[in-house]
Structure 1
Amino acid sequence: MRTTRRIVAVGAAAALLAAVGAPAWAAPGPSVTTPYPAVVVGPGETVTFELTVSAPGRQRVDLAVRDVPKGWRAVLRGGGFVIDGVMTDPDQPPAVELEVEVPPDAAPGRYGLEVVGSSATGTDVLRIDLRVSRGAQGGVALTTDSPRLAGPADSTFTFDLQLRNDTPRDATFDLGGAGPPGWLVDVRPVGEQLATSIRVGGGESESVQVEVDPPDDTVAGRYSVLVRAAGGGLSARAELVVEITGNYELVFTTPDERLSADVGAGGTTTVVMVVRNTGTAPLADLRFDADPPTDWTVRFVPERIPQVAPGDSAQVRVLITPSGDAVAGDYIVRLSARNDQVSEDVDLRTTVRTSGLWGFVGIALILAALGGLWWVFQRYGRR
């Protein structure tokens, strides 16, 4: 009996020593790590952590997320699935991601959560720290190297812009633009004809083209065109400038557009002419000239007009004096209106009519001659 107890005692002591020494011989537990365990995020952002899960040999490691802040969402993903564990492989570690969604109303401050990896050989805990800052979420921007273009009103102006998404998440943006009333503004992705939206990855940029078509009668000047992109709670805008250089056109005519006048030989006749600005640029320093028949005089009142705005008109009086010996008939007087940009010539048909007094004088002379002949015949005809 004593021998038996001693063996049992020795066996028990050996078992106790084996149990005490077990930790020195056991295989190490799993490891859960990430390159960036502390990040700064903005309210409403979704941030993704790449995790490395390892363990000696091939073994299953169960994964869990704990201490998630209230209102936040944390999900473990791998292989296209939401996962609760992985199978480790020293030659090809599994790809695991922790996706953390920060609520839009998250107050600025420091927050934390833990990723726990457990296996048959032990447990590892990875601490994730997140600092919420309203200025950390980035934004979007519309930029261009040429925000201002110039040309005549009948041109189409094309701008090339870049839409930059500086947030960590992808977003789809609706595109639009607005100009002055009557202008056509077309905003679309480069290479697309009908699309009015564009998807831009987080941290990436895409090209956007803007075509601006003003009305042909747009007055010369500078005009603003606003381009915007909005989506996913984000927005950007850019202001473009179109400078219309204008075109110069004028019409020189009479108020009723009848280019004819009656004038009297030796007298002065006033003809009213109208200058109409039918272009889109102001007509400045208008001058007038005439090419009349020999010995005629033509004067303009006023001799110059400082400016006629687009769509407006101005009158000038033309004083025409034929020569005193002008024979009755039709004559052409060429009138010109011009400035440094444009000119217009018209032919005014003038009809010279002799005075009625000369008609009476002629009739009187004829009657006098007839009376003289009658007297002669009466006095000498019987002899």
Structure 2
Amino acid sequence: MLEEIVNPRKKLYPSGESCAHAQVRNVRQPAYEKVWLFILLTMAVTVFLFASPIKAWAAGGLEMSTSYPGITAKPGENLSFSVALQNSLGASLNADLSVTSIPDGWEGYFNGGGNQVSRVHVNSGGDGATVTFNVKIPDDVSEGTYPISLQADAGEGIVSAMDLVINVNEAAVGQSSFTSQYPELQGSPSTSFSFNTTLANNGAADQSYSLSAQAPEGWQVQFKPSGETNQVASLNVEAGQSQGIAITVTPAANATAGDYKISCSAASAGETLTTDLTVTITGTYDLSLSTPSGRLSLDAYANKETPVTLSITNNGSADLQNVSLTSSAPDGWNVRFETPTVETLPAGSTQEVTAYITPGSDAITGDYVTSISAGSSETSAKADLRVSVKTHTVWGFVAVIIIIALAGGLVYVFRKYGRR
């Protein structure tokens, strides 16, 4: 009673709790219910997420990639990227391919099996799928860095994207090349010239090159892979690799001395590479000396000049300069030439020159040898002429008359003085 008098608002419940304690208990009970409700909702969401395995795999189940996503190229070049798609979802799928971003004026498309494609079947596991993404860079594009975005979408949130970066440079570091170790060779027309060349594919994709050459008429050009004997008209070079090529050049049989250019080309789908070769024909040097008839004998008289026509022929493939004529004759003889020096004798040509031979005044009847030589700084020729020295007919008559006169005189003497 005293407690009720002192604190008339305090009321005891049958359980012995005061009214204040009962109010506190009533306030705390709804808070506990909210905590348990939050825990139950969290567990439900977790169970729901783990109960949806396809959507959980979707974030990483399809992957699009390429070995070289950033390359350097030049304006007007055609590029090819090998794009691999990996599927780790446990089941094969079909993915739509698209170019989500590409610079204005550029062309880009996917290629597979020799055809342009927009959808690809991707097997599950290690096989996956592979397509080629082709890019055509405009000829008038400015130097700089250009991004391209690609996407593969299999639906239901299964998406993979990939970014490419192309650095356009007029003097692209990755530019392919066709070079020769020794681009200039020289020799005679009968020589087969062999050039060692290297074809380097510095691009991002394998290339097939068609080989050709522009050479003078009648010349032959052959291409052979280094170390092989078979002639080829085309060959494949893997990306980042090079191929040695032996180029054999055979001149025409009638090739004259001079410099000859041979332009060799290796053409692929995106570019044409060239290398220029030079063959210097030094020519062959061959000179012959004779007479127009081929007869190397003549008649002459002592102390009388006798002409003989000589034929000088250049049988080589190179022109001859300053062909000089000289002679060797018996003592007391004289030999002179109408043209002592032929300034130019073209290859394959013949020039006639007259020589004048004068036997010595004391030369008696008989055969003599006079040697004639024609020569330049490169070659020479020699001809031996047999000169038959004759006696004039009048002296023969004189001798006969003298002999007859002597015989007649003897007869007269014998007749007149013989009987005495």
Match of 1:142 among 168, 174, 178: 178
Does 2:242 match 1:211? no
2:79 aligned partner: 45
Give the AA of the match of 1:146: Y
Does 2:224 match 1:188? yes
Gap change, CA 1:298 and 1:107, over 3 Å in 2: closer
Q: CA deviation at 1:256?
A: 1.5
Gap change, CA 1:364 and 1:74, over 3 Å in 2: closer
Q: What is the TM-score normalised by the length of structure 1?
A: 0.76
RMSD between aligned residues: 4.3
Alpha-carbon separation, structure 1, partners of 2:139 and 2:400: 113
2:12 aligned partner: none
Does 2:41 match 1:18? yes
SS of the residue corresponding to residue 266 of structure 1 reads: coil
Give the AA of the match of 1:128: D
Does 2:298 match 1:261? yes
Alpha-carbon separation, structure 2, partners of 1:251 and 1:38: 70
Q: CA deviation at 1:198?
A: 1.2
Give the AA of the match of 2:152: V
Query: Could you tell which deviates more after superposition, 205-214 or 138-147?
Result: 138-147
Match of 2:339 among 285, 291, 302: 302
Does 2:358 match 1:321? yes
Does 2:99 match 1:68? yes
SS of the residue corresponding to residue 14 of structure 1 reads: helix
Alpha-carbon separation, structure 1, partners of 2:244 and 2:292: 54
2:259 aligned partner: 222
Q: CA deviation at 1:251?
A: 0.2
CA contact (8 A) 2:311 2:352 kept: yes
2:379 aligned partner: 342
Query: Could you tell which deviates more after superposition, 97-106 or 358-367?
Result: 97-106
SS of the residue corresponding to residue 213 of structure 2 reads: strand
Gap change, CA 1:59 and 1:295, over 3 Å in 2: closer
Give the AA of the match of 2:212: G
1:243 aligned partner: 280
Q: CA deviation at 1:374?
A: 6.5
Alpha-carbon separation, structure 1, partners of 2:255 and 2:129: 60
1:352 aligned partner: 389
SS of the residue corresponding to residue 400 of structure 2 reads: helix
2:7 aligned partner: none
CA contact (8 A) 2:185 2:278 kept: yes
Superposed counterparts of 1:171-182, under 5 Å: 171-182=207-218
Give the AA of the match of 2:37: A
CA contact (8 A) 1:65 1:113 kept: no
Equivalenced residue count is 363
Q: CA deviation at 1:192?
A: 3.4
Give the AA of the match of 2:232: A
1:232 aligned partner: 269
Alpha-carbon separation, structure 1, partners of 2:320 and 2:140: 62
1:162 aligned partner: 198
1:128 aligned partner: 163
Alpha-carbon separation, structure 2, partners of 1:310 and 1:170: 50
Alpha-carbon separation, structure 2, partners of 1:59 and 1:118: 16
Alpha-carbon separation, structure 1, partners of 2:139 and 2:328: 85
Q: What is the TM-score normalised by the length of structure 2?
A: 0.70
Query: Could you tell which deviates more after superposition, 106-115 or 272-281?
Result: 106-115
CA contact (8 A) 1:297 1:320 kept: yes
CA contact (8 A) 2:86 2:122 kept: no
Alpha-carbon separation, structure 2, partners of 1:36 and 1:167: 10
SS of the residue corresponding to residue 99 of structure 2 reads: coil
Alpha-carbon separation, structure 2, partners of 1:196 and 1:38: 33
Alpha-carbon separation, structure 1, partners of 2:111 and 2:283: 61
CA contact (8 A) 2:321 2:344 kept: yes
CA contact (8 A) 2:85 2:122 kept: no
Instruction: Write the deviation string for residues 193-226 of structure 1: whole angstroms up to 9, x where unpaired.
Output: 2433211122321111111122455322211122
Gap change, CA 1:36 and 1:202, over 3 Å in 2: closer
Q: CA deviation at 1:295?
A: 2.0
Gap change, CA 1:130 and 1:53, over 3 Å in 2: farther
1:101 aligned partner: 134
Alpha-carbon separation, structure 2, partners of 1:148 and 1:295: 55
Does 2:156 match 1:114? no
Gap change, CA 1:261 and 1:219, over 3 Å in 2: same
Alpha-carbon separation, structure 2, partners of 1:46 and 1:137: 17
Alpha-carbon separation, structure 1, partners of 2:381 and 2:245: 45
SS of the residue corresponding to residue 275 of structure 1 reads: strand
Query: Could you tell which deviates more after superposition, 95-104 or 233-242?
Result: 95-104
Give the AA of the match of 1:64: A
Alpha-carbon separation, structure 2, partners of 1:278 and 1:379: 76
Give the AA of the match of 2:201: N
2:28 aligned partner: none
Runs of 5+ unmatched residues, structure 2: 1-32, 51-55, 114-118
Does 2:189 match 1:153? yes
Gap change, CA 1:33 and 1:230, over 3 Å in 2: closer
Gap change, CA 1:49 and 1:106, over 3 Å in 2: farther
